[in-house]
Chain A
Amino acid sequence: MPTRYAYFQGCAARQSCPELNQATLLVAKHLGWELTTLENAACTGARDLIEAQPEMAIVLNARTLSLAESQGLDRLMTVCATCTITLRQVNKLLKEDRPTLDMANKQLASIGLRYNGTVDVRHFLWLLIADYGLDRLKEHVKRPLTDLSVAPYYGCHILRPSDVLGFDDPDNPRSLHDLIVALGGRPADFSSQADCCGFHMMTIDENRAARHAGGLLVDAQQQGADVMVTACPLCHISMDSWQPKSERVMKRTIGMPVIHVPQLVGLALGYSPRELGLERHIVRPLEIIQKYSI
């Protein structure tokens, strides 16, 4: 299986979640993945652009896909679920609808690019499980996450709609569960693990979004989770950066640490919390930091 990937960081991992980028690069290097960061790519436009200005969204994302293709890379790795759904949705359209591909290529030609539809967009979590394999990953585990109860939070854009994403069963997702077990931890099942984090209504109604995200955190906490893991920096912003807001709206303390998938993997591989940027979180996973800094 290929271990050379085009790496699409997205906006959040370059700005408000830099620790995600830091941990991703560290873990990928450790596992021998050769990442080519697409420095000249662009924001996917998230759900806003694809809804309100779909032609612009198609051409913009075709440009990113063509940047990967032009370097001979057929796998584009994402670390954000919303980037994953948007890039995959556009890629599906470009591969299945010839007039759309022709339209995109006409615009790409003006900047000397072309897309032939050879790239596959895959999330870091999917590459870890399907390309690399959890059995191989287990061989690298130096510090099993024994006794750590981890709430696997999937959210939406890595599951639904399944005809665009298609890696996990949206009704019974297992990928994060399997990863946690492979790293020696205990998955803490909670009922809202595949529910929406509310990020995309955050700027429309802050209190509503904060209350919604807080509900998920409390749900995980009630199932005995020490920490929550998420595959999307936008979910992380909702539930970590905005957790103080959730606490204010809900009039209760929560204090649930939320970490990124590559950080969880990195801990088991033996990296220190500082190397993985765990101290950058608003709700610091203090128990983990103390335990794993030794």
Chain B
Amino acid sequence: MPANTFNVFIQRYDPDRDTVPHFVAYKVPRQDGMVVADVLQYLYETETPDLGFLWECRTRRCGTCAVRVGDRPVLTCSEPVCDDMRLLPLEGIPVVRDLIVDRQELEERLAPWANNGAGPLQEARVLLDSEEIAQYRSLSECIDCFICDSVCPALHENAKGGTQFSGPRRLIRLEAQAQRRAEPLPWLRYAALGNPSLCTRCFACTEACPRELRPAEAIGSLTKKLFERHELDAHKTSHINSFVRSILRGAWLDEFRLLVDIYGAVRVAKFVPQALRMLRRGKLPRPHFGQAEQGQNIQTMLRGLEKNRSRDPR
């Protein structure tokens, strides 16, 4: 291979022609400052005019050019090239052709909950302080590249049925709206329909977001708002309350009590077979685990926090 060229392997798939996706190798002349989008454009113009890929702005603003380089989702307009790179479409989204994924299908998949009676969203906007404006601006800079959704394990689980998770992309949009409203409740209820508690807190979206918007933390912020307004689902609410009670009672999480708090004294009986297995292995959490003295110590420490909060006019 000439020294001034490099290999690129692109996953090709045309549903009208191919039964399964396959990789095709190409040689591309190297240029200084070359990004992945340049490679795709070069191949389209010189070698394979049927190559399916998207781009619009070339300035990291439109989000249409997202693909994977190996396992890593990137924007082709800013990703430097490397030798022997493998280009694939985003994961977990149906492929239209080659590197193009069906964004419309993903939107439609969310439609049943997205249109589900959350009411008119016409509330007055609220005046934000400078810190809040910065936070809102940050979240509102989402470019709909779908990278966060494509790496989300909870969203991928939707395909196997059961309760559906709306995914990080939709939730950061709603968190941004909730932040700037005088009455965020309709927006929060709208978000709650997307089951944010199904987020696994894995931070794959935060790590992958090309705009560094930290979607996982935005879902955490939504969770806080929903919890404070008693709008969070019952299981997650019980989970949080059980943590707080355990820590105040004995510093450590009482794992036995956690299940009772979440499922109730009757429904927790379904865990008896598992409890017996753990008992046989000598690892069944014992009831009332904790250190009461340390729980008291923590209560004393947090009392000041409560006092400060009651003096805070907010």
B200 and A241 form a contact (CB under 8 A): no
B200 and A198 form a contact (CB under 8 A): yes
Interface magnitude class on chain A = 35 or more
Residues of A within 8 A of B198 (CB): 201, 204-205, 208
Residues of B within 8 A of A242 (CB): 274
Given contacts A42-B252, A196-B153, A204-B236, contact A53 B244 (CB under 8 A): yes
For A42, give its contact among B223, B233, B247 (CB under 8 Å). Answer: B247
Nearest chain A CB to B291 CB, angstrom units: 7
- Chain A 51-93 near chain B by CB (<8 Å), digits 1 or 0: 1111110011001000000000000000000000000000000
| 8 Å CB interface, A27-56 against B | 39-43, 45-56
Nearest chain B CB to A111 CB, angstrom units: 5
Bound-state Cα–Cα, A196 to B198, Å: 12
Bound-state Cα–Cα, A52 to B247, Å: 14
Given contacts A160-B203, A196-B153, A282-B278, contact A171 B252 (CB under 8 A): no
B207 and A19 form a contact (CB under 8 A): no
A111 and B203 form a contact (CB under 8 A): no
B220 and A50 form a contact (CB under 8 A): yes
- Indicate whether B136 reaches chain A with its CB closer than 8 angstroms: no
B236 and A282 form a contact (CB under 8 A): no
- Indicate whether A290 reaches chain B with its CB closer than 8 angstroms: no
B239 and A43 form a contact (CB under 8 A): no
- Indicate whether B9 reaches chain A with its CB closer than 8 angstroms: no
Nearest chain A CB to B254 CB, angstrom units: 8
Bound-state Cα–Cα, A12 to B285, Å: 9
Bound-state Cα–Cα, A73 to B247, Å: 24
A16 and B157 form a contact (CB under 8 A): no
- Chain A 254-294 near chain B by CB (<8 Å), digits 1 or 0: 00000000000000000000000001111000000000000
Nearest chain A CB to B233 CB, angstrom units: 7
- Which of chain B's residues has its CB closest to A50's CB? B220
B201 and A156 form a contact (CB under 8 A): yes
Residues of A within 8 A of B6 (CB): none
Which of B201, B235, B284, B305 has the largest count of A CB atoms less than 10 A from its CB? B201
B283 and A280 form a contact (CB under 8 A): yes
- Indicate whether A11 reaches chain B with its CB closer than 8 angstroms: yes
Which of A50, A56, A171, A198 has the largest count of B CB atoms less than 10 A from its CB? A56
B200 and A279 form a contact (CB under 8 A): no
Bound-state Cα–Cα, A11 to B252, Å: 6
Residues of B within 8 A of A241 (CB): 274, 277-278, 283
| 8 Å CB interface, A214-246 against B | 241-242, 244-245
Given contacts A55-B305, A196-B202, A245-B274, contact A15 B207 (CB under 8 A): no
B252 and A14 form a contact (CB under 8 A): yes
Bound-state Cα–Cα, A52 to B305, Å: 15
B305 and A160 form a contact (CB under 8 A): no
B203 and A156 form a contact (CB under 8 A): yes
- Which of chain B's residues has its CB closest to A49's CB? B243
- Indicate whether A212 reaches chain B with its CB closer than 8 angstroms: yes
- Which of chain A's residues has its CB closest to B309's CB? A55
Contact surface of A with B, Cβ cutoff 8 Å? 11-12, 14-19, 39-43, 45-56, 59-60, 63, 106-108, 110-111, 156-157, 159-162, 170-171, 195-196, 198-201, 203-205, 207-208, 211-212, 241-242, 244-245, 279-282
Q: Would you list 18 pairs from A and B whose C-beta atoms are within 8 A, ordered by A residue?
A: A11-B255, A12-B255, A14-B289, A18-B283, A40-B291, A40-B297, A51-B221, A52-B223, A53-B240, A53-B244, A55-B305, A157-B203, A195-B202, A201-B197, A203-B258, A204-B198, A241-B283, A282-B278
Contact surface of B with A, Cβ cutoff 8 Å? 70-72, 153-154, 157, 160, 162-163, 195, 197-204, 206-207, 214, 216, 220-221, 223-224, 227-228, 233, 235-236, 239-240, 243-244, 246-247, 251-253, 255-256, 258-259, 262, 273-274, 277-278, 281-286, 289, 291, 294, 297-298, 300-305, 308-309
